[in-house]
Amino acid sequence: MTSSGMNMMSRIVFYEDRNFQGRSYECMSDCPDMTSYLSRCHSCRVERGCFMVYDRPNYMGNQYFMRRGEYADYMSMFGMTDCIRSCRTIPMYRGSYRMRIYERENFQGQMHELMEDCDNIMDRFSMSNFMSCNVMEGHWLMYEQPHFRGRMWYMRPGEYRNFMSMGMSGMRFMSMRRIMDSCY
């Protein structure tokens, strides 16, 4: 299936006000800046698929993972201080998952390979942090705290040589989980 076909399977509807009130905007693909469609966004409905939503335009700022469901007041639900400003679809993926994490930038230092969720890198690998990774297969969520808590970051297949240069300065990842096809 083509990536455009996968994106057509996803659909999210954003509403200006809480409880699905006010003007709405339906989105079925990535949207780098929602301000041209809605001046504010306080609730949404994910009808199909999974999305990452961001509190700043151009996929910047805090990220939040949303799967099929209703979010009548997501700001208090997620502790957000600002509205959703951009969103990205997460393509459906049904294959194996593989990621390598590295102790230092540019794939240097101690390396560990993951093929399943890891709820605590300190317990599992005796690592207090890692500074680069290579996502070889699948889509992953990284969390700043153990047990899939705290701020999160979406990682799709690719090389991530330096988290600090990607705007993640001060961010430490302590757990990671695969985004499975249960979204669809």
**CATH number of 11-90, picked from 3.40.309.10, 3.40.50.2000, 3.30.465.10, 2.60.20.10:** 2.60.20.10
Please name which of 130, 94, 98 lies closest in space to residue 114, comparing C-alpha atoms: 98
In tens digits, what is the pLDDT along the chain, a chain of 184 residues?
Answer: 334 444 458 999 999 999 999 999 999 999 999 999 998 888 999 999 999 999 889 998 889 999 999 999 876 666 666 688 999 999 989 899 999 999 999 999 999 999 999 999 999 999 988 999 999 999 999 999 999 998 899 999 999 999 877 766 677 899 999 998 665 5
Listed in order, the ranges of the chain carrying CATH 2.60.20.10 are 11-90, 98-183
Tokens of 141: 């969520």
Question: What is the fold, at CATH topology level, of the domain defined by 98-183?
Answer: Gamma-B Crystallin; domain 1 (2.60.20)
